[in-house]
Amino acid sequence: MKPLWAPWRMEFIAGPRPEGCVFCPALKEGKPSRDLLVLHVGKEAAIIMNRFPYGHGHLLVLPRRHTSEFTGLTEAESLEIERLLKACVQVLTHEMSPHGFNLGLNLGQAAGAGIADHLHWHILPRWSGDTNFLALLAETRSIPEHLLVTYDRLRPRFAALLEGKGA
């Protein structure tokens, strides 16, 4: 395998492992945070950027309430999660012009959930041809933009769309 420079991964590799849920502290303030990559916090659900993304523009939508029970979501949580998933597709479409999306929930560790104790949906913009030799042969993915640059591009769009603030 050939190495690819990805400095944001060192924090994950060498940094201390937080105890408890990794999402709940980011949602505790109840408002967007550039430092925590929180793009939007609603009454029932939130949008955050994946700190260790699979690809460029990888977002997460999650209930604010700490739960791993999909069938235990309230109607209000389910409706807001669906609304935020649609907002993610709309904002990413406008800002990044992807050709498609992967949207998904890995329910439980056996289903691939790396963080199984707090439900979260993945939204990954995709481009034709983005499955290139790096991922197929070198077990590497290329992220073309720094996470904070992406945050600064997306945050105004979410503010305008979901909070009624001008873009």
Q: Which of 2-16, 79-93, 148-162 has the lowest mean pLDDT?
A: 2-16
Q: Where are the domains of the chain?
A: 20-162
30 versus 56: the higher-pLDDT residue is: 30
State yes or no: is 120 an active-site residue. yes
83 versus 108: the higher-pLDDT residue is: 83
- Characterize the bridge pairing of strands 38-41 and 45-49: antiparallel
Please provide the CATH number assigned to the domain covering 20-162.
3.30.428.10
Q: Partners of 105 in the beta sheet?
A: 121
Q: Of 118, 120, 122, 146, which is the active-site residue?
A: 120
Kindly tell me the sign of the dihedral angle through the C-alpha atoms of 60, 66, 69, 75: negative
> What is the structure's pLDDT at 75?
98
> What is the structure's pLDDT at 115?
87
91, pLDDT greater than 80: yes
Cα(26)–Cα(142) distance, rounded to whole angstroms? 26
- Cβ-contact 124, 61 below 8 angstroms: no
- Amino acid type, 26: A
Q: Which of 27-41, 52-66, 81-95, 127-141 has the lowest mean pLDDT?
A: 127-141
Q: Where do the H-state alpha helices sit in 39-117?
A: 75-96
- Cβ-contact 78, 86 below 8 angstroms: no
Quickly state the pLDDT bin for 89 (edges 50, 70, 90): very high
113, pLDDT greater than 90: no
Quickly state the pLDDT bin for 166 (edges 50, 70, 90): low
135, pLDDT greater than 50: no
Cα(28)–Cα(35) distance, rounded to whole angstroms? 13
Mean pLDDT to the nearest integer, 58-62:
97
DSSP state of 88: H
> What is the structure's pLDDT at 137?
39
* Residues in CB range of 162: below 8 A, 6 or more apart: 40, 42, 84, 87
Kindly tell me the sign of the dihedral angle through the C-alpha atoms of 134, 137, 138, 139: positive
Quickly state the pLDDT bin for 59 (edges 50, 70, 90): very high
Quickly state the pLDDT bin for 1 (edges 50, 70, 90): very low
Angle at 153 between CA 38 and CA 49, to 5 degrees: 30
